[in-house]
Structure 1
Amino acid sequence: MAPYSVVSGARGVMDGLLADTRLHIPPEVAERAQRDVKFTGNPEPFLPVPFRIVEALAGLKGLEAAFATAIAEERYGVNAGTATVDVEHAALFLFSTFLARINGKVPNDPSLTAAGGPVKDTDIHHSFKNRYRQLATNCYRTKDGKYYYTHGSLDARATMKILGMDPDRTDLVETKDILKAYGEAVAQFTAAELDEKIQAAGLPGTICYSIDEFLATEQGKAIADAPVYELSSTPGPKVTWPSVPPNTPRQALTGIKVLDLTRVIAGPVIGRGLAEHGATVLRITSPNLPDLQGIVPDLHAGKYSAHVDLDTAEGRATLAALVRDADVLVDGYRPGSLARRGFSRDAVRALNPALVYVRENCYGWRGPWASRAGWQQIADAASGVSALYADKLGHAGEAIQPIFPSADYGSGAAGVVGTLQALYQRARAGGVFDVDVSLLQYNLYELSLGLYPDAVWERVRAPAERLRHNWDVVMMMGGVGPSLRAARPELFTRADLWQVLAAPTYGPEGSVRILRPVVRFAHLPVELGKGPSQNGDDAAAWPALGK
């Protein structure tokens, strides 16, 4: 029997996407994918998870390449040539935010984040400045022997208070002591009791279900048959592609304007993916809301960033003006948040009938839990992914978060594909398009691809064997990072995988080192035109093309 190959697996994933009639892939795009997309790289898996997370991501990148090829030919009459997707490059993309560097240092280096340092402090509720508040986001055992994933979100205080934890305690500083305190607090509740309190308060959190248990819930039933992304449309006129000024790179999306109203990872991946193909992406942030600045170097490279306060009439007027001239709006906030401020899909369509509206959430867009708050860890715990991972590690009955945020990156990648498809079809045949993606939707899709054969899993599992349910993402990446570098040291130094961009936001000589775009063409540029902007660096106006 031939050895297992990630390269062949990625090709199989793309072929499966092309054959999925729910996605309505245009036949000419499917033909390009089959003819022009090539998967390369070391075929041996090396990430210590049993799920086909690399194959899933790489397959989506292959479909992304096919749409970009079709758009370039439609716009410019050029043949982009062979597209390549390196599976090892795709593997690094699944944890790229952890690999970024600012001025040669990790983004949370004290010299960067201290008062007066170049990294803006957007952790206004101090949820990430100390381990005590950080570990409000973790998995703990409940009184009835089940497991519950609590999440402090960007303001841990509300979750901590439900658990009876004083947010202002200063005596707990060691991780082991903090874990013990949270463990004891959660153990005062059954899983159902804690979930009732968390959901009543509108906070993120979930019982850790098995796959079968989740699929038996009303939410599981509602999204069980959802594709990896959902594209819907109503009749509308064709929208011609914007003209490209002389001496401006002709990328697939040059001149397309994208409003990025997202935070954390999944939503920002969509905007970054569109920026890689030349779109002008303007990220809108609030001066009054917390954010994660650690992801800015990587996931907001290529973007502009402006503050707009949507709780003011002036801010709403500013966003309305931007919407009128946009091609795409990416909404990554909790379902209903923008609608409450006057920017529902119907409201923005009144301003701009041709706008492509892209939504990303945790639980999916149907079912009783659709409006719940959620994060990657919540999606893993709710869907049964965490329970299955624990079982594969020999800890049956526990729930262990898989190390890599594949649902974040994967649902973001799916959103990129859906947006490219919407823009392509809008120009060719006309229509008004909506794109929906979700973390749980992606997890169910990823699970449908199956697990690695046992022999493959035994080869890659070693670095993860000692993980347990109450290891948060900081502990996990610290625990497996050295093993990954030891397994494939060349990946972390290969010049063709990394790029350094000037980033004046981090000082006169500021720079960021980030992963290059995964998709590459022989004759079509896929590149980020600028370094990242931090929140509020830029004007709330569309920049001139090429500036």
Structure 2
Amino acid sequence: MVRTAGADALRGLLQVAGLPGALLGQARLEGEDPVQPSSFHVGAAAQASIAAAALAAAEIHRQRGGPAQAVRVSMRHAAAEFRSERHLRLDGALPPDPWDAIAGLYRCGDGGAVRLHTNFPHHRAGMLRLLGEPPATREGVAAALRGWRALELEEAAAAAGLCAAALRGTVEWAAHPQAAALAGQPPLLLERIGAAPPTKLPPLATRPLTGLRVVEMTRIIAGPVAGRCLAAHGAEVLHIGAAHLPTIPALDMDTGRGKRRLLLDLRQPAEKAALEEHVRGADVFLQSYRPGALAARGVSPEALAALRPGLVCASLSAYGHLGPWAGRRGFDSLVQTATGFNQDEAEAAGTPDSPRPLPCQALDHASGYLLALGIQAALLRRAEEGGSWHVRVSLAATGQWLRGLGRVEGGLAAQDPGQEDIADLLEERDSPLGRVSAIRHAAEMERTPAGWG
């Protein structure tokens, strides 16, 4: 294989997951950065993470008795899939914009800046209370924030259970205790958390993950992308939500492809018992709630592994499971701001006073495919060694991995692809909500085509 940033990134991911290095020879990687306007290797990250998850599926299929197969991933297609929520159309129209009007970046009175995430109604209401109930407009919020220092607002928001991040540069983030907690950590952690005899993979089927059952409790992008990826390779995925918790319908449409859905309220004993019954029949439990939130209701990885020995649990966090920010709420946009990406992109553009985000929710999407990769690696380990397993991924560690891929000189001059530029990558299908047009999966499997029913 020709050495490219995508190939090097893929090699590293296979090593981290403990998968055979020979799988690299089955990958057919096409394209090079930049494929979106960024000074970071967003395209290589998309290509490598999607290819790694697909190669893990191919290896599961081979170990079930199927032949080895090539996996082709175009960087252009992979990068488009990293923006799948932007390309979704319902009956030919864009779904409602999920971004709240007051979400975004603001300057504070000390000259620093903060990014607010207010897309959930309770986060929006809480932020307005914290700021002294200013008018619920960008102008009103901006005026209120001029009375704050950026770092003080960040801490006050965290203490109130709200979502905000102060803008930092790379050097400033590197000096932060949370960065120290992440230093040297791989983008994917795989830990044995319980004893269980080996669990054979199901008999050979037409798709790699047919016969494997996933219980998913996730929201927004990263966790749901992981479940969508597993469903694309044939897993039976049951997404469990709750009627009393807010969600974003446009994201649910995009990431819910191939899944069944069930609403449960874990505050009700009978409904928690229903969840436990589903877990008893599952191979995988995938969750992306704030660290400790489900454990407080008795739904920790250890408790579930005791309930169902041999279970593979997968957990997503914003900033990792160690360090002073281990329990902090966060989203892709906030982690980008806190860890230096917004400032780095601005400086690469020659506009250091105008922070700019990555061209996609790269930390979210990459983390989703890393979760799917880790889950499949754990299923292979379970078949060989036995045990219950815990897969951990965090947005911040994913960002650290992306940063480690290096920079793209002149990358910000790349074209920003629009809907017409990716039209050949779309698929259409009928749904209960109408005719959905969406990005098809970027991993092209030689013998077991990926896709959603």
Q: Does TM, normalized by the shorter one, top 0.5? A: yes
Equivalent position of 1:238 in the other structure: 198
- Aligned pair 1:372/2:328, yes or no? yes
Change (3 A) 1:522 1:78: same
Contact 1:140 1:148 in 2 (8 A): yes
Is 2:132 aligned against 1:164?
Answer: yes
Q: Is the 8 A contact 2:36 2:359 kept in 1?
A: no
- For residues 412-458 of structure 1, the C-alpha deviation after alignment (integer angstroms, 9 at most, x for no partner) is 111111011011111122222110001111111101111102xx336
CA RMSD of the aligned region, Å? 2.0
Question: What corresponds to 2:349 in structure 1?
Answer: 393
Residue 122 of structure 1 aligns with which residue?
A: none
1:151–1:159 contact (8 Å) kept in structure 2: no
CA offsets per residue over residues 113-165 of structure 1, 9 Å max, x none?
xxxxxxxxxxxxxxx6xx8xx13321111111011112214121001121223
Distance in 2, Cα, partners of 1:287 & 1:16: 40
Partner of 2:417: 484
Q: 2:56 pairs with 38, 57, 67, which one?
A: 67
The answer for the alignment partner of 1:303 in structure 2 is 259
**Corresponding position: 1:142 with 2:108:** yes
1:47 matched to 2:15: no
**1:144–1:190 contact (8 Å) kept in structure 2:** yes
- State the Cα distance separating 1:511 from its structure 2 match: 2.5
Q: How far apart are the structure 1 equivalents of 2:280 and 2:79? A: 38
Aligned to 2:9: 13
- Whether 1:525 and 2:449 are equivalent positions in the alignment is yes
Rounded Cα–Cα distance in structure 1 between residues aligned with 2:282 and 2:17: 25
Structure 1 stretches lacking a partner, 5+ long: 1-5, 110-127, 170-177, 464-482, 530-547
Q: Normalised by the size of structure 2, how large is the TM-score?
A: 0.94
Of the three residues 417, 438, 441, the one matched with 1:514 is: 438
Distance in 2 (CA, whole Å) between partners of 1:82 and 1:457 is: 30
> Is the Cα–Cα contact under 8 Å of residues 38 and 412 in structure 2 kept in the other structure?
no
Q: Deviations over 1:381-418 (max 9, x none)?
A: 11111111121122225532223100000111111110
8 Å contact kept, 1:7–1:40: no
Cα separation, partners in 2 of 1:398 and 1:458, compared to 1, 3 Å: closer
How many angstroms apart in 2 are the aligned matches of 1:397 and 1:225?
A: 31
User: Residues of 2 paired with 1:243 and 1:36: CA distance?
Assistant: 23
CA drift of 1:37 comes to 0.8
- How many angstroms apart in 2 are the aligned matches of 1:290 and 1:17? 34
- 1:192, CA displacement in angstroms? 2.7
Deviation at 1:219, TM superposition (A): 0.8
3-state secondary structure, aligned to 2:10? helix
Cα deviation digits, residues 495-542 of structure 1 (max 9, x gap):
xx2222231x21xxx33111111111211231212xxxxxxxxxxxxx
- Give runs of aligned pairs for residues 106-255 of structure 1, distance below 5 A: 106-108=94-96, 134-155=100-121, 156-166=124-134, 178-234=137-193, 235-243=195-203, 250-255=206-211
The answer as to whether partners of 2:216 and 2:287 remain within 8 angstroms in 1 is: yes
Q: Whole-Å Cα distance in 1 between the matches of residues 245 and 23 of structure 2? A: 43
Stretch of structure 1 that moved more, 428-437 or 390-399: 390-399
Secondary structure of 2:418's match? helix
Structure 1 residues 334 and 403, CA gap change in structure 2 (3 angstroms): same
- 326 and 514 in structure 1: CA distance in 2 versus 1, 3 angstrom threshold: same
Q: What SS does the aligned partner of 1:380 have?
A: helix
SS in 2 for 1:500: strand
In the alignment, the residues of structure 1 paired with residue 445 and residue 426 of structure 2 have an alpha-carbon distance, to the nearest angstrom, of 16
CA contact (8 A) 1:140 1:147 kept: yes
SS of equivalent to 2:417: helix
State the shift of 1:46 in Å.
3.2
Q: Which has the higher contact order (CA 8 A, sep 6+)?
A: 2
Higher mean displacement: 269-278 or 58-67: 58-67
Q: How many angstroms apart in 2 are the aligned matches of 1:379 and 1:15? A: 26
Secondary structure of the equivalent of 1:322?
helix
Q: Pairwise mapping of residues 307-318 of structure 1 onto structure 2 (< 5 A)?
A: 307-318=263-274
TM-superposed CA distance for 1:16, in Å, is 3.0
- Counterpart residue identity of residue 200, structure 1: A
Q: 1:30 aligns with which of 17, 21, 39?
A: 21
Q: Which is greater in Rg? A: 1
